[in-house]
Amino acid sequence: MISQQTALLNDVPQGLYIVNVVSGSPAEEAGVLVGDIIYKIDGNSVSSDSESLSKSISDKKPSDNILLEIWRNGEVKNISVALGEFSQ
């Protein structure tokens, strides 16, 4: 998670910093890359708590789509991701 202070110091948005994308996952298939910052999910800002992602998708079912607003190398990208089954 990129805090508000870190975001301000580095001129990036506050959000979820992607450090790993699982091979073959819906995120990879949709084009999410390591280094992306997810700052909105379905139009809702990602807050500083780690529960914001869970809250955003808790009412969704596998195969439902979510819209991620991503900051990548200074550009904003909108990526639609079809949710999959969670495996341990």
Q: What domains are there in the chain, each with its CATH number? A: 4-82 (2.30.42.10)
Instruction: Over range 32-48, report the average pLDDT.
Output: 89
Q: Please tell me whether residue 68 adopts helix, strand or coil conformation.
A: strand
| Mean pLDDT, range 21-36, rounded to an integer | 95
Instruction: Give 25's pLDDT tier (boundaries 50, 70, 90).
Output: very high
What CA–CA distance (Å, rounded) separates 9 from 29? Answer: 32
Helix, strand, coil percentages for the chain (3-state, nearest 5): 20, 30, 50
Adjacent-strand bridge partners of 86: none
Per-residue pLDDT at 85: 80
Q: What is the pLDDT of residues 51-83, one digit of tens each?
A: 666 777 778 888 899 999 999 999 999 999 999
**Residue 3 three-state SS:** coil
Has residue 19 got a pLDDT over 80? yes
List the one residue out of 84, 73, 75 whose CA is nearest residue 27. Answer: 84
Does residue 3 register a pLDDT over 90? no
